[in-house]
C-alpha cells in the first residue's frame, strides 16, 4: 500500500469519526430517523468525502442493514439505536458504528459491545490470529452475560470494496489466519441479550450492483447508469427515489428480476433480543496498527 493510499485511508477514517459523533448527537427523542440519516450523509459530503454505503440506523432487535425510505415517518422515542457510517475518499474507506440508548435501560448492553471492541483492539497486532481477536470479543461480551452475534463479523476493506476477506469473527472460531502488515479492516462486535444469531427480517432497501446486463426500459437504463456511478459500493432505495421519483422502484424491481443486484435485507436477532454495536476501522501500517476512526 503506497503512501497516498495510506493518507486517504487516514483521512476517510478521520471524516468518518467526525460524522459518527455528529450523527450520534442527532439521535434524540422525536427526531425523524430519515432526517437524521439525510443530515449524516450531507455532513459526509460537506467534510470532503462520499458515503461508502448508505448511513444506516438499526433499532432494538435489528442489528444491521436497516435503511428507511424517503418519506418514512418514524420518530425516535425510547429505542436502542445503532448508527453505522462509512465514508470514502477516492475509494479508500472508513467504517464505524456507535449505539445510543434512548430508553436508559440498556447501558450494560451498550458497554458490552464497547468493551468488546476495546478488548479486540488490545489484541490486534501483526501476528495475532483472527481466532484470538474473536475470543477477546466473546469473553468481553459474555462477561456481561450477553451473547456475541455469531453470524455477523468484521471484515476487510478494499479499494471501492466494503467487504473483503478476511472476516473478523465475534467469537473464537479457531481461525489461525494471522494479522499482517498492510491489512485494512473493520472490527465490529455486536452484543445481544437474545439468541446471538441474526436472520433476514423485512424487505431490502440496501443493494449492491452485482453485474451489468442489457436492459430495454429507458428509465431502468437511466437508473442503472446512475447506480454504476457508485463504483460497486452499496446504495439505497431512498437515494434513487430522491433523484428519479417513485419510478426508481420499478427500475429496481426489474434489475432484481434480471439478477443484477445483491440485496441486503435488515437483519434481526432470531429471538428478538436487543442488539448493540461498536465498530472501528484499523490500518496495519509498517509501524504497526493505526486505528483510523477514533475521535482524533
The residues annotated with a catalytic role in the active site are 84, 95, 155, 163, 188, 279
Rama region for 259: left / alpha / beta (φ>0; ψ in -120 to 50; rest)? left
As a whole number of angstroms, the distance between CA 117 and CA 296 comes to: 17
Do 53 and 123 touch, CB atoms closer than 8 A? no
As a whole number of angstroms, the distance between CA 120 and CA 98 comes to: 16
For the chain, what's the residue count? 296
As a whole number of angstroms, the distance between CA 4 and CA 46 comes to: 22
As a whole number of angstroms, the distance between CA 206 and CA 68 comes to: 9
Using CA atoms, how far residue 156 sits from 8, 126, 153, 188, 207, in Å, is: 16, 15, 10, 11, 19
**Cell numbers at 55, concatenated:** 448511513
Do 33 and 74 touch, CB atoms closer than 8 A? yes
Amino acid at each position: 500500500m503506497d503512501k497516498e493510499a495510506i493518507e486517504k485511508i487516514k483521512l476517510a477514517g478521520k471524516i468518518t469519526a467526525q460524522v459518527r459523533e455528529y450523527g450520534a448527537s442527532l439521535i434524540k427523542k422525536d427526531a425523524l430517523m430519515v432526517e437524521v440519516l439525510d443530515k449524516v450523509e450531507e455532513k459526509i459530503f460537506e467534510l470532503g468525502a462520499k458515503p461508502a454505503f448508505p448511513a444506516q440506523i438499526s433499532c432494538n432487535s435489528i442489528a444491521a442493514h436497516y435503511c428507511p425510505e424517503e418519506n418514512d415517518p418514524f420518530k425516535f422515542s425510547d429505542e436502542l439505536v445503532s448508527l453505522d457510517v462509512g465514508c470514502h475518499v477516492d475509494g479508500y474507506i472508513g467504517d464505524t458504528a456507535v449505539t445510543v440508548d434512548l430508553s436508559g435501560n440498556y447501558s450494560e448492553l451498550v458497554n458490552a459491545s464497547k468493551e468488546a471492541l476495546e478488548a479486540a483492539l488490545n489484541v490486534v497486532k501483526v501476528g495475532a490470529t483472527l481466532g484470538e481477536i474473536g475470543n477477546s470479543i466473546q469473553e468481553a461480551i459474555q462477561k456481561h452475560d450477553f451473547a456475541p452475534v455469531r453470524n455477523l463479523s468484521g471484515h476487510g476493506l478494499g479499494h471501492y470494496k466494503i467487504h473483503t476477506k478476511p472476516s473478523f469473527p465475534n467469537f473464537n472460531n479457531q481461525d489461525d489466519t494471522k494479522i499482517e502488515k498492510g491489512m485494512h479492516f473493520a472490527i465490529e462486535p455486536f452484543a445481544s441479550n437474545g439468541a446471538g444469531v441474526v436472520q433476514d427480517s423485512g424487505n431490502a432497501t440496501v443493494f449492491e450492483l452485482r453485474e451489468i446486463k442489457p436492459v430495454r426500459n429507458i428509465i431502468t437504463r437511466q437508473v442503472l447508469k446512475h447506480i454504476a456511478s457508485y463504483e460497486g459500493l452499496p446504495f439505497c432505495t431512498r437515494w434513487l427515489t430522491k433523484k428519479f421519483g417513485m419510478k426508481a422502484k420499478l427500475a429496481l424491481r426489474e434489475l432484481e428480476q434480471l439478477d443484477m443486484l445483491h440485496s441486503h435485507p435488515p437483519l434481526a436477532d432470531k429471538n428478538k433480543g436487543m442488539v448493540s454495536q461498536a465498530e472501528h476501522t484499523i490500518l496495519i501500517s509498517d509501524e504497526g496498527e493505526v486505528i483510523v476512526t477514533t475521535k482524533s
